[in-house]
Amino acid sequence: MARKLEVVSPTKEPLKSDLLNGKWELVYTTSQSILQTQRPKFLRSRRNFQAINVDTLRAQNMESWPFFNQVTANLTPLNSKKVAVQFDVFKIGGLIPIKAPGRARGELEITYLDEELRVSRGDKGNLFILTMVDPSYRVPT
């Protein structure tokens, strides 16, 4: 189903679109590290969010209960759909900042974008499907 959506994406250059700005909720992923399948179920994050600011090229990933972990990142456009992601600060429990190692990086391609839905693919082959929850949210600087 994701592939069918990607073919008809109404936003041809998502990195130039204000539709990308805001806080998105992850509703589906194939990423085992995000699904946390190695953890007991009661220790897995209940909800995950990602915020993006196109104008500042910043991103933030956030986990909900039980740990409220966060990570912020700088984005470098590789083309009009794809960014290099360099994570910079992890926050344990949303409070304790830890500088991210230089190897904490990846790439993300936005393959579908409209006002309510975003489909992205990571450089490790993972699929991410997100829905918009707050278009006014800004990544803290």
Higher local confidence (pLDDT), 42 or 128: 128
Which pLDDT belongs to residue 141? 77
pLDDT of residue 77 exceeding 90, the answer is yes
| Residue 37 CB coordination number (10 Å) | 9
Rg (CA), the chain: 14
Kindly indicate whether the domain formed by 2-37+46-134 is annotated with CATH number 2.60.40.10.
no
Encoded tokens for 21:
């700005």
Which pLDDT belongs to residue 33? 75
Query: Considering the entire predicted model, what is its pTM?
Result: 0.90
pLDDT of residue 113 exceeding 90, the answer is yes
* pLDDT band (50, 70, 90) for residue 66: confident
Kindly state the average pLDDT of the residues 67-81: 94
- Pair type for strands 48-53 and 22-29: antiparallel
- Give the C-alpha separation, 4 to 42, whole Å: 35
pLDDT in tens, 7-63: 999 999 999 999 999 999 999 999 877 766 677 776 667 799 999 999 999 999 998
What's the chain's average pLDDT? 92
